[in-house]
Structure 1
Amino acid sequence: MKRRAPLIAKLTRSRYMPPWLPEAGYGDFADSNRLTDAQVRMISDWVAQGAKFGNLADLPAPPRFTSGWQLGPPDLIVEAKQAFALPAAGTDVYWNFIFTPPIDRLRYVRAVEVRPGDKRLVHHAAIVVDRSHWGREQEKSPGAGFPGMELTNRRSVFDPDDGHFLFWKPGGAPYVEPDGLAWRLAPGDDLVLNTHLRPSGKPEQVRPSIGLYFTDKPQTRYPMLVQLEHDGALNIPPGARDFMVSDDFKLPLDADVLAVYPHAHYLGKVLEGYATLPDGKRKWLIRIPDWDQNWQTVYRYKDPVFLPKGTVVSMRFHYDNSAANVRNPNQPPKLVSAGNHATDEMGHLWLQVLPRAAGDRRVELDEALMKHRLEKYPDDFRAHMILGALLLARANAGAAVPMAEAALRIQPKDAEARNLLGSAFMGVGRVPEAIVQFQQAVALRPDFVNARFNLGNAFARSNRWQEAIGEYNRVLAAYPNDGLAKQKFAQALVQYGDALLKDGKRSEAAAQYGKALSLDPKNEAAKARLQNR
C-alpha cells in the first residue's frame, strides 16, 4: 500500500479512480462511486504525510464478496443451448444468445442476474424480452445464437417494449425492481442476451446463464425506455476534435425519469443530457466530461426526476476524432460513421420514463416518439408501421392506408407491412385489394397466423366460403383455443349456411349451422336457424 500511495493520490486527484463518469452537480445518482473533494484532499494529505497506518482498531472489516448468485438461489435458471466459440484474436465480437424460460403461466420478474461464464471475456451484456420470436429468425439453427450489436425488436404496437434496463457489467450488482414495476414474462417468451465479447489471446467457449427471481406482485406501473439519438448525423471527419450530435424530444405527458443510460464508442468525449422545462428552466439529467466506454453503465436516480408535459429532453454528444484522443482506435484518424462495429460510432441517450398518470400510458409516449423519428428519418419503416397501426385502431383506416403503403415501399418483402396494408384496405372497403395483401403476407410467412385470420375474414366478406373455411381451419390448428377465431369461424359458417339455403340446399345448410354451434355454443343465429328448420 505505502509503495503505491503516490499513485493512489494521483489517480484519485485526476478522478480516474474510483471509476465514476458523471460530473458532480449534473444529476443525483444512487450508488455513486464518486469521492467528495474532502475525501480526495484527505487522501492527498495522508500520502504527503508518509502514508502512515492509523489506529488498527478503526480498520473496517474487509468486504465480503458472494461467490454464487448474489441474490441467493434464483427461482429459475436458464442456460444457453450452445456455447459460442470466441476466436483467439481479432476485433470485439457481439453475439446474441436466446433463452426460452420453461414456464407454464404468466410470471412477474423482480430481478435478473447474468452469469456470463468467464467474466474476462464479456465487456457488458443486456437482455431484450422477445415476445414475437424475431431473434429465432436470425439463427441459422435453433439454439445457435446470432451476431449483431444493435437489435430491433419486432413487437405489437399496443405492447411497447418493456421499459426496463436489464443490463449487466462486471462488478455490477443485480437490480431488484420496486413493487409494481416487476416485468412480465409469459410462456413462450424469449430472452435475448446481447453480449459484447473480447478475445483473450486463445480460443474460448462462452456459454452464459441467466437467473430469474419472480414475485407474486403484478406490474401496476408501466415505464418505457425513451431513446434520444441521431446516428444518421454521425459522420465524423478525421481530425475533428469537437463533432457534436444532438436530438430533442418533447414529452407529451407528465412523467418521472427513473434512470439514464448514455452510450457511445471510442470517440465519445463529452456526453450531456438535460431537460428544458416549459418555463424555460434547465434541469440536468447527466453530464460526462470524459467518456470511457469501458465504464459505461445504467445510472439510477436517488429520487425520480419529475418532468412536466411539454418538457423538451435533449442530448448533446461531442466526439473527438483527432490523433490526440488516446482512445481513438484509428491512428492516423479516419472518417467514422454510425454502425454496428466497435470501431464505428453510436450516440444514444436512453431514459427510463414512468408516466405519472394512472394506467398504462406507453402507447401515447410511443406515438410521440415515432412522430419525432419520422421528422429525423422520413423513410423509417418501424415508425410508419406503428403510426399506421395506431390510426387503424382509432378507426381511421383512410389515414392508415398511406402510412402502411409508405412502410411497404421501404420494405416490400415484409409480411407485417402487407398485413397492415390489407387491414387498412378492409377498413375502407377495398376488400379485393386486401385479399391480395393478406395472400402475399402468408406467402412470405406461412406461419403468420394473424394474416391468415384476416385473410379468412376477407374471404368471408367476399362470400368465398370454402376459402374462408380453409383459412379459419389453419388458424384453429395453430391456436385451437382461440375464442375470437372460433367466433369468426362460426359467423362465417352461418353465412355460408344462409347462402346454401338460398340455393335450396337445406341439409348442407343445416350441417354448417351445426358446425357453427359446436365452435361457438353462444351463436344465437345458428341456434335460431336450426330451431326454425
Structure 2
Amino acid sequence: MRCPVRGVDRVVLLLTFPILAAQEKQAKVPDVTFYRDVAPIVYRNCSPCHRPGEATPFSLLTYEDVKRHAKQIADVTKRRYMPPWPPEPGYGDFVEERRLTAAQIQKIQEWVRQGAPAGTLAGAEPAPAADAEWKLGKPDLILHVQRPYQLSADGPEVFWNFVIPVPLSRTRWVKAVEIRPGTPRVFHHASLLVDRAGSSRRHEQTPGAGFPGMDLTVDETTFDPDGVFLAWKPGSTPNIEPEGIAWRADPGMYLVFSVHLRPSGKAESVNPTIGLYFTDKPQTKFPMLVELQRDASIDIPPGARDYVVTDSFKSPLDLQVLAVYPHAHYLGKLLEGYATLPDGSRKWLIRIPDWDLNWQGVYHFKRPVALPRGSVITMRFHYDNSENNIRNPHKPPVRVRGGSQADDEMGNLWLQLLPAGAGDQRPALLEALMQQRLERSPSDFLANYNLGDLLLNRGKAADAIPYFERAWKAAPRNVIAATELGVALMSASRVAEAREQFKRALELDPSFTDARYDLASADAASGEWERAAAEFQAVLRERRDDQNAREHLGEVLVLWGDQFQKAGNFEEAVKRYDDAIVIRPSDLELRMNFGLALARLGRLDDARIQFETALHLDPGLQAARQALAALEARQREKPK
C-alpha cells in the first residue's frame, strides 16, 4: 500500500524540483540594463577609441550607438579581441588596463541576451564628451607642422618625420604632451623625440618639409638622454608626468614627430598638432630610457616557428622601472620582459603571449617596480616565421633579418628607469649599459660614442679620444662623431689636429654649424683671427640667435684689432674695432683702444665720442678722463 504513495511522492518531487531550480536560476540573474550595468564598462574601455576624431569605424558614446552594435560587442568581448589589451594578467600591473574581467564579459552577454534594455537614466554615469577638443584642456603651447604631408590613396606604408620648431623665449618644464593626429584613420602609431641641437634638420631636403625613414636617431652634443616616453596610438590617453619628472624645453630646440602612416584608399593631407602643458616645478628626478635590443643578430629562416632573441642588462644601481615599451614587427609571437634579482628570484615586467603590431603601446606601471642593484633585466622575444603565423606578411615565408623596414624584423624592449639616489644618476646608468654593449661588440658605435662623451664631460679628454676614434671608424659618415673627436682633440690641447678634424666634419656636411663653430674656435686658439671671424660670421648667418657665437665673434674682432694696432696699422685696427663695438658696446677697454686708434689717424672728434662713452659707462674711469684731457690739449695745439 505504501508503494503507490512513494510513487506519487516521487512524481511530485520530480516535478517540483525543476520548478524550484528554475525559480532559483531566475532569481540569480537580475535584469541587466545599459545605463546601470553596461555603460560604465563601455565608457571606460571602449569609448576612448570609439568616438569622433579617432580611427575607429563607429562611435560608442550613447545607448543607441551601443545597442546598434550590441551583438558585435558581445562577440568580440567574449573572444577577448576587444578591447585590445595584449599584456597577460599577472605579469605586470599597469595604469589604464582595458582588459575586461570575466564578470564584465558575462554582464555584456546577459545584457544582449535580455534584448539590450536601456534602463533608467537616473543615477547613470555621464557619457564621455563627443567633441574632439583637447583631453587635458587647452595647452600652454600648440605646435603645428611646417608643411603637411600628402599621403597617397594607396601604396605602401609610410614612415615620415616632421621637424617642428618649439618657439620659446625661456626654458620651460613640460609635464604633459597631447598629440592630435588630425587624420587618425591613417595613423598606425607615432612618437616624439626631443632634438635640442636641431640635428634632425640636416635630413630634410627642403627645410620644414620633413623627411622619410623609420630608423631615426637624434644626435646630441651634450649629455641629456630622453627620460620620458612621448608616444601616441589610437585611443591613447595623454600621460601626465609625476611631480619632479617634467622634462626641460629650451629656446631653439625642435621636436621630431615620427609617424607610421597607412593609406586609407583616399588621398589625405596629414596635418597633426601637438599640445604642450607646462609646470613651474622643475625636474628633480631623472629617469632614463634604456633599450634592450639585438636587431643586428636577427636572421630568421623561413619556416622557423620559435626563433628566440634575447638581451639583458645588469644594473649598477638600485632603480625603479616606471614604464615599458616592447616592440617587434609581424613575426613577433611571445614577448617577455623580466628581472632576475640578486637572490635568483624573478620579477615580471611584461608578458605578451600573442603579439600584434597593431596594438603596440607604452605601459606605465601603477606602482614603480623596485629592483635592487645587481638585478639583471632580460628581454626574451619569440618569433614565428611559419605559415601558421596568420600575421606573417610573406606567403610563403622568406628569410627575414633585423632592420627598420616594415618587412624586416625588430626586437626592442624599452624601459623607463629611475635610478635611486639624489641628483642625476643617469651617467652611471649609461656607463654600465654602454660598457656591457662594448663587451659584446668592441666596435659598437653607440657604446664608443657615449663612453667618449661621458669621459669628455668629466674633463678626461685624453681618455675620451680613443673611444671617439673607434666611433668615427665605425660610422665614418657620421658628422657628429667626426666633430666630437675634434672637440676631444681640442680639449686635449691638440689644436692643429682638431682643426683638421673639424674640416673633415664639414666636408661630410657643410651645413653642420656645430663643426663650423668649433673650427672657428680652433682658428681663434691658433691666432688665425681672419679665418675665425669668417667662420663665426658664417655660423651667425645660419643661427642668428646664437649668443655664444656672437660673443666669440666680438672677442675675435677685438683681438684682431689689437694685433693691427700693435703693428701700427691703425686703419685696419679701426675697421675691426668698429665691427666689434656693435657686439660689445659696453666693453670699456675696447672703447679706449678704439678711441686711441682713431686719435692716431687724426679723427679726433670720433675719438672723443669713444672716450666720452667710456666715461659715461664708468664715471670713475681715470684713463678716459686723461685721454679726453690729452685730446683737448692736442686740439688746442692744432693750428687754426
> With structure 2 as the length reference, what TM-score do the two structures score?
0.73
Structure 1 residues 461 and 213, CA, compared in 2 at 3 Å: closer, same or farther? closer
| Match runs of 1:112-511 below 5 Å | 112-161=177-226, 163-471=227-535, 478=543, 482=547, 486=551, 490=555
Cα shift readout 1:499-521 (whole Å, capped 9, x = no counterpart): 986xx759799989999998597
| Match runs of 1:53-92 below 5 Å | 56-57=119-120, 60-61=124-125, 63-67=127-131, 68-92=133-157
In structure 2, distance between residues paired with 1:475 and 1:139: 19
Shift of 1:78: 2.1
> Amino acid of the residue matched to residue 119 of structure 2?
L
111-120 or 420-429, which deviates more: 420-429
| Bigger Cα Rg | 2
Shift of 1:236: 0.9
> Could you say what secondary structure the match of 2:487 adopts?
helix
Contact 1:2–1:51 at 8 Å: present in 2 too? Answer: no
> Amino acid of the residue matched to residue 100 of structure 1?
P
In structure 2, distance between residues paired with 1:15 and 1:422: 57
Shift of 1:115: 1.4
> Amino acid of the residue matched to residue 441 of structure 1?
A
In structure 2, distance between residues paired with 1:278 and 1:495: 63
> Could you say what secondary structure the match of 1:56 adopts?
coil
Instruction: Give the number of the structure with larger relative contact order, counting CA–CA contacts within 8 Å between residues 6 or more apart.
Output: 1
In structure 2, distance between residues paired with 1:384 and 1:462: 29
Shift of 1:325: 0.8
In structure 1, distance between residues paired with 2:266 and 2:519: 54
In structure 2, distance between residues paired with 1:333 and 1:440: 45
Contact 2:313–2:376 at 8 Å: present in 1 too? Answer: yes
> Amino acid of the residue matched to residue 433 of structure 2?
L
Q: Which runs of 5+ in 1 are unaligned?
A: none
Structure 1 residues 381 and 105, CA, compared in 2 at 3 Å: closer, same or farther? same
In structure 1, distance between residues paired with 2:337 and 2:311: 10
In structure 2, distance between residues paired with 1:385 and 1:252: 20
What's 1:103 paired with?
A: 168
What's 1:31 paired with?
A: 96
Structure 1 residues 196 and 509, CA, compared in 2 at 3 Å: closer, same or farther? closer
> Could you say what secondary structure the match of 1:341 adopts?
coil
> Amino acid of the residue matched to residue 433 of structure 1?
E
Shift of 1:25: 1.0
> Amino acid of the residue matched to residue 187 of structure 1?
P
> Amino acid of the residue matched to residue 294 of structure 1?
N
> Amino acid of the residue matched to residue 430 of structure 1?
R
Structure 1 residues 496 and 366, CA, compared in 2 at 3 Å: closer, same or farther? farther
Shift of 1:374: 2.9
Percent of residue pairs identical: 50
> Could you say what secondary structure the match of 1:366 adopts?
helix
**RMSD (CA atoms):** 3.6
Structure 1 residues 84 and 322, CA, compared in 2 at 3 Å: closer, same or farther? same
In structure 1, distance between residues paired with 2:573 and 2:255: 49
> With structure 1 as the length reference, what TM-score do the two structures score?
0.86
Shift of 1:137: 1.6
Contact 1:468–1:492 at 8 Å: present in 2 too? Answer: no
> Amino acid of the residue matched to residue 192 of structure 1?
V
Alignment coverage as a number of residue pairs: 527
Contact 1:255–1:309 at 8 Å: present in 2 too? Answer: yes
Contact 1:381–1:411 at 8 Å: present in 2 too? Answer: yes
Which structure dedicates a bigger proportion of its chain to helix?
2
Structure 1 residues 335 and 506, CA, compared in 2 at 3 Å: closer, same or farther? closer
In structure 1, distance between residues paired with 2:123 and 2:303: 50
In structure 2, distance between residues paired with 1:380 and 1:527: 55
> Amino acid of the residue matched to residue 158 of structure 2?
V
Cα shift readout 1:134-188 (whole Å, capped 9, x = no counterpart): 3222222122221112211111342222x11111111121112222222222222
